[in-house]
Amino acid sequence: MAERPRTRAWYRPMVAREAHEAHRVATSLELLFDLCFVVAVSRAGSALHHALAENHVGHGVFNYLCVFFAIWWAWLQFSWFASAYDTDDVSYRLAVLVQIAGGLVIAAGVGRAFEGDFAVVVAGYVVMRLAGVSQWLRAARGDPERRRTALRYVLGISLLQIAWIARLALPEPWLVPSFLALMVVELAVPVWAEQAAHTTWNAHHVAERYGCFTLIVLGETVTGATSAIQEGLHEGHHTATLVSVAAAGLVIVFSMWWLYFDRPGHRRLTSFRSAVVWGYGHYFIFASAAAVGAGMEVAVDYDTHKGHLAHLPAGLAIPLPVAVYLISTWLLHIGPSNECRPIAIGFPVAAVLVLAAAFSPAPVHLTAAIAAGLVAVVVIATRGHPIHE
């Protein structure tokens, strides 16, 4: 008897997915959602580069961290919800379409947000959260066991969004303190909501989603560096220097990829507490990885005598984010108490050496050598040891 063709439901109860569902992978819709954040990450990196190039170091770094938080937090909230409640019916897909639209509005507002005007970013959040709250209301209706959790999310998200809108009317001296305060409350809402009953996120799925976003920020690093080097080569000067910087940058990015993906991330997601630390801690991995791209552009500007930075600030543009990346990866993926001592010790030692490279005549090349050396240590130390997926 021939199999009946499958039809996609318009609406089905939003019941919780199994936490240990086998073969759970990122869906094509989730990957499409990620694409809108490629633009946002690229804009944030570009804005950081321009701020550093104009020698506005403190202003640029602080605004970058704030803007990147807005980008990362929007992505995180969608990703964890989808891990627990992706029904993949027509209603769910249309709600995600609205969230994608909100994400694109956020991306469009990155430039203005970097100058302190978050109005467009807040508008994007309103769009995303209208759809997100409707999804949580569906979860409250379809999953009675976690209804209190879902309603706590609805309440927390709604009140916070009202607060972000009200913040736009505050006088300038209150903007930074209010941003930091609301940021802390944003981080607290999921912790508070999940106390009622934990949602059934899937460790393998969450780890894959974070891996996808890591690839996004590393990809933007490559794109930013390539554009800067191409512009330098177009002028026909400093060719040998730019080629060597490009080679060193490629080694750095490849080493960052290797070190992050060498160990399966899901092995660190053993409890709700570990998931919060791991999930929130990735902010530093993502932000530092994206900042390396801006650092590459700063390095090209310095070597082609275009930038206004002195040697030390220019020299720190790559080593500093790479050091943050190494320490964050060490803490979240490796662990200070890792049974393999060369690896457990190697990451922080390499981070210190990378920072020291900023004071050398060739910070980019030394950073590449140290990162590659750490990869070699990892390979040698784990030779013959199975990697459990």
Q: Domain coordinates of the chain in residue numbers?
A: 28-194, 203-381
Q: Which of 254, 293, 280 is nearest to 374 (CA)?
A: 254
Q: Report yes or no on whether pTM surpasses 0.85.
A: yes
- Residue 67 has a pLDDT of 94
Query: For the CA atoms of the chain, what is the radius of gyration?
Result: 22
**What mean pLDDT comes out for the span 165-178?**
94
Q: What number of CA atoms fall less than 13 Å from residue 221's CA on the CB side?
A: 33
Q: Which of 27, 119, 26 is nearest to 70 (CA)?
A: 119
Q: Using the Cα atoms of residue 65, residue 66, residue 68 and residue 74 in order, give the sign of their dihedral.
A: positive
- Is the confidence at residue 75, as pLDDT, over 80? yes
**What mean pLDDT comes out for the span 46-60?**
88
Let me know if 286 is exposed, middle or buried by CB neighbors in 10 A (0-12, 13-18, 19+): buried
Backbone angles phi, psi at 7, to 5 degrees: -120, 145
Let me know if 220 is exposed, middle or buried by CB neighbors in 10 A (0-12, 13-18, 19+): buried
A 10 A CB-CB count for 147 gives: 15
Q: Which fold has domain 203-381?
A: I/LWEQ domain (1.20.1410)
At position 299, the amino acid (one-letter code) is: A
Give the mean pLDDT of the chain: 88
- Predicted confidence (pLDDT) per residue in 183-202, tens digit: 999 999 999 999 999 999 99
- Residue 121 has a pLDDT of 95
Secondary-structure breakdown of the chain: helix, strand, coil percentages, each rounded to the nearest 5: 75, 0, 25
Interatomic CA distance for residues 234 and 300, integer angstroms:
13
- Residue 383 has a pLDDT of 76
